Amino acid sequence: MSLLQIKNLSYRYPLEEDKALRDINVTIEKGKLHTLIGQNGAGKTTLCNVIRGFIPHFYQGDLHGDVLLEGRDIRQWSLDEIAPKVGYVFQNTFSQVSGTKDTVYEEIAYGLENLGVDTGTIREEVNRIIKLFNINALADKNPYELSGGQKQRVALASIIVMDPDILVIDEPTSQLDPQGTEDVFHIIRMMRERGKTIILVEHKIDLIAEFSDIILLMHEGEIVKEGRTNNILTNPDVLDYKGALPQYALLGIEMQKKGIPIDQVPYTKEGALQVLNNWMQKKGKIE
């Protein structure tokens, strides 16, 4: 089932000659994790801004085509109407923090307050999310005193507490160390397992390979490849568009180039171990 359909979408920013998006056609499936990959400047964040409604409601410019959220064009929604439907997590956590609250607890509650939720329900939902994300120790701290990883977890909590149908998460680990990255992907995996529809922009391709259902490769404002993770992240053509492949897929492709018979190109650590084990067994039988 699709929550969002984009048809023949093109967009050009004000004062720019070239289009930032060109003839985008994509259907976002309910309950799936969709990951946008591609080099910087490919149009990933711009597409996220369309999905979130920042384009055309905040950013002007020339927008053509259809962006249908629950069957209704995004231009017919107000940003206030979109907010409970589409949650947006910024790449820069400083853009996410409201700046009006003194504690993490209040920061997480802020979105629900803006939606007019009653006080009792707010307390219940904030307590639930804090427990779910295991950030009890942060509840009374000032959001600006947190580490990068902690800020990102709080940013995710402040959006997820509003229970949007779609989560748009733009490069959440770009400024994080390995532990912070692991914490954020743990939350993303948890949301995926709970059936949330997620649109993720991310460059850490080995982690993407483990968690994503669908990959969309963008290049110069276009979606040039789209499909299941196992099909896209094992395809050497991705490299022609300056996209990245997991190290395990690169290993498998190199083995094939050298004439080593393998059943399939792996894209995860587990898959690579299985491919190597199968190859060793076949080699042993031949020898």
State which residues of the chain have pLDDT below 70.
1-2, 92-96, 98, 283-287
Same domain, 231 and 250: no
pLDDT in tens, 102-113: 899 999 999 899
Q: Does residue 63 lie in a domain region?
A: yes
Q: Does residue 116 lie in a domain region?
A: yes
Phi, psi of 207, rounded to the nearest 5 degrees: -75, -40
Angle at 54 between CA 51 and CA 56, to 5 degrees: 95
Same domain, 130 and 257: no
Q: Does residue 240 lie in a domain region?
A: no
Q: Does residue 92 lie in a domain region?
A: yes
Q: Does residue 241 lie in a domain region?
A: no
Q: What is the pLDDT of residue 95?
A: 66
Same domain, 145 and 283: no
Same domain, 112 and 205: yes
Q: Does residue 255 lie in a domain region?
A: yes
Same domain, 252 and 181: no
Same domain, 216 and 94: yes
Q: What is the pLDDT of residue 120?
A: 95
Q: Does residue 85 lie in a domain region?
A: yes
**Domain count within the chain:** 2
Instruction: Give the span between the Cα atoms of 214 and 32, in whole angstroms.
Output: 7
pTM: 0.90
CATH number for the domain that contains residue 120: 3.40.50.300
Same domain, 10 and 120: yes
Same domain, 228 and 261: no
Q: What is the pLDDT of residue 284?
A: 65
Whether the Cβ atoms of residue 266 and residue 275 lie closer than 8 Å to each other: yes
Same domain, 265 and 137: no
Question: 284 lies in which domain range?
Answer: 246-287
Q: Does residue 282 lie in a domain region?
A: yes
Same domain, 123 and 229: yes
Same domain, 98 and 120: yes
Same domain, 218 and 82: yes
Q: What is the pLDDT of residue 124?
A: 95
